Structure 1
């Protein structure tokens, strides 16, 4: 047993796994404090502990699986992932015994959840992993010929259809993350700089024109959240800005070392355990705690890209780039929400926000990165030294 463990630790990227565990440990400590000071129970922290332990085991298991086999098995995982997503497009809070399909967890017409008894699961998290695997396989098969019209058209269809389906669910935050992942992966696959600039410019101009021609395209609360960023002093938007104002106040009053984990003298932020966990963390641990969380996330992003550069093939490289994009885009959007520079769109902070399905699926991504790194190391050892 011990020789097997030693051999595994010699092959795996221990630092990468340790960074993830540190993020989870810090998250649990902060959630315990939140349970003590605001929630009156440690249910959120307990679920986070279970999800993190399960996630670590899942990461270890999948790190030993060939990522190429997982990518080639796309008909299986794509069918399962999107087979779970599709019913939520048509069923909204429909009960079948203890199962609720299209559960609206936040009261914002976001029907992207399943509820089983007292537990919830968001299939979009599983679909996100399948999306990264299938798009990585698609890019690797093109062998750098991304800019050919036919190839580019098929890639754009591959990139646009999944977030469109997530949009129909009502989860526009996750749809935006899907788009960000797709764009970063296409850019890494060799998409022309001119095309990137053109697509972004056309998207911004087209989106603005579409909203002007059809202002009811956005739901009422979505439009108000955007206006809350542009005109935060508008008294008519006080209900919309309340959460972000409290979040900004919590961050601003944290000082250097914070108000203490269990002091009880914390700024109340609605739903702080979820989208606004960073605001609460900065309030109780101060600038030093917030900086530590950001350094951990930055180190994870950097290590993911380093693994991409060491990959033995293009498929592994694109998988790591996709997972880097998921980490980076989610972190930027979530921090922008907490700092009042982006509207609240329901995007969690990876590893830190409470949520069983999101934590477990994030560790699944960790397992994929570890698998790419282990196979790259094995290929290097088999090749031997260059004389």
Structure 2
């Protein structure tokens, strides 16, 4: 009698579980991180060229080195945060939220510092380092407000709950406005509104908000803004009325953009080849992009930044829960309004209010905070799939 042959399983090797690193690598949002690194690489190269060409006397070798160090530190933060589940990060609000508020309040003390040429006292000078607490506060606000919305979404349209949400948004926005940093205050307000609308706010509140806009604008114009801020808005409505003072920086920025033409004058063409623009390394870095790399380079930067914003928004909509959606929406709105306001300043369609271009403008605090924000987004991406969860 013939026996049926059954293959032995003794010699068959058991499939190995993928290594920790392989799991992490598979779950990492590599395209989003690559786009940010490309922008940072361009920023470092532009700062190096500004220094080498002597375009700005305010820019020394320390600027591109600081940007390089900030980029490295930011990447380390991204890796760390992307490993940790964003739920665990959000639940630690009682640690980082008070720290962010205390650091912001210290700007109103003797430790507060007003940088040269700035209108606001929004920096802390600790002797060995200067940094902007509002960048820390942005991240804390996104996390705490996302957690607030996720826990209260079913009741948010009840009057008392909506009032508490509005207070949550008004505290950081008001503190930053009191510092005189109206540009960053607008960023907070936009983050608040975007996240609130994503949580499906009732239309009765939307209508009330629309009705209140003229009243708010009247109050802001007459009781909050100083004469300099008013002039910066008025010259946009009546261009050419103050070319030697308020308009000078924006006019030079536009001249630099036009000077680059299609392909730019290059990165290392010598000082005489460039148009000098005040704060070209910071708020007006987009003007240097257009001047050095031309319309093609400027368009490429806009497209990469648009990709980053849209990818963050996409990651939010594929998140496993509302907390992930709200975190990504907050980061998206922060990046988006920064891009719109900064490029608008350079194009002279928005007032000069000191908002940097994400991953491009010089600034250690801003660069690290933008990378931390991406780390939070990538955490929602990494921990969306149980297969690739790490911690």
**1:32 aligned to 32, 48, 63, which one?**
48
Q: 1:167 to 1:354 in 2, by over 3 A?
A: same
Q: How does 1:92-131 map to 2 (within 5 A)?
A: 94=110, 101-117=111-127, 119-131=129-141
Q: 1:355 to 1:379 in 2, by over 3 A?
A: same
Give 5+ residue unaligned stretches, structure 2: 1-17
- Separation in 2 of the partners of 1:196 and 1:296? 32
1:159 aligned residue: 169
- Separation in 2 of the partners of 1:210 and 1:138? 29
1:201 positional shift = 4.1
- Separation in 1 of the partners of 2:181 and 2:301? 26
More helix by proportion, 1 or 2?
1
1:145 positional shift = 3.2
1:42 positional shift = 2.3
1:193 positional shift = 4.0
**1:253 aligned to 243, 259, 265, which one?**
259
Q: 1:208 to 1:116 in 2, by over 3 A?
A: closer
Secondary structure of the residue that 2:274 maps to in structure 1?
A: coil
1:5 aligned residue: 21
2:10 aligned residue: none
| Equivalent pair of 1:144/1:190 in contact (CA under 8 Å) | no
| Equivalent pair of 2:281/2:361 in contact (CA under 8 Å) | yes
Asked whether 1:229 is paired with 2:239, we answer no
Misfit runs of 4+, over 4 Å: none
CA RMSD of aligned residues (A): 1.9
**For 1:135-189, what per-residue CA distance to the aligned partner results, in whole angstroms no more than 9, with x for missing partners?**
0001001234322212211111111121101111111111110000000000001
Tell me the TM-score normalised to structure 2 length: 0.90
Q: 1:112 to 1:118 in 2, by over 3 A?
A: same
Secondary structure of the residue that 1:371 maps to in structure 2?
A: helix
1:359 aligned residue: 367
- Separation in 2 of the partners of 1:340 and 1:238? 15
1:379 positional shift = 6.5
Asked whether 1:350 is paired with 2:369, we answer no
- Separation in 2 of the partners of 1:338 and 1:284? 15
2:155 aligned residue: 145
**For 1:195-249, what per-residue CA distance to the aligned partner results, in whole angstroms no more than 9, with x for missing partners?**
334314412x11343257xx353212111111121222114x5211000000011
Secondary structure of the residue that 2:41 maps to in structure 1?
A: helix
Asked whether 1:55 is paired with 2:58, we answer no
Q: 1:142 to 1:211 in 2, by over 3 A?
A: closer
1:5 positional shift = 2.9
Secondary structure of the residue that 1:81 maps to in structure 2?
A: helix
| Equivalent pair of 1:146/1:190 in contact (CA under 8 Å) | no
1:194 positional shift = 4.9
Tell me the TM-score normalised to structure 1 length: 0.91
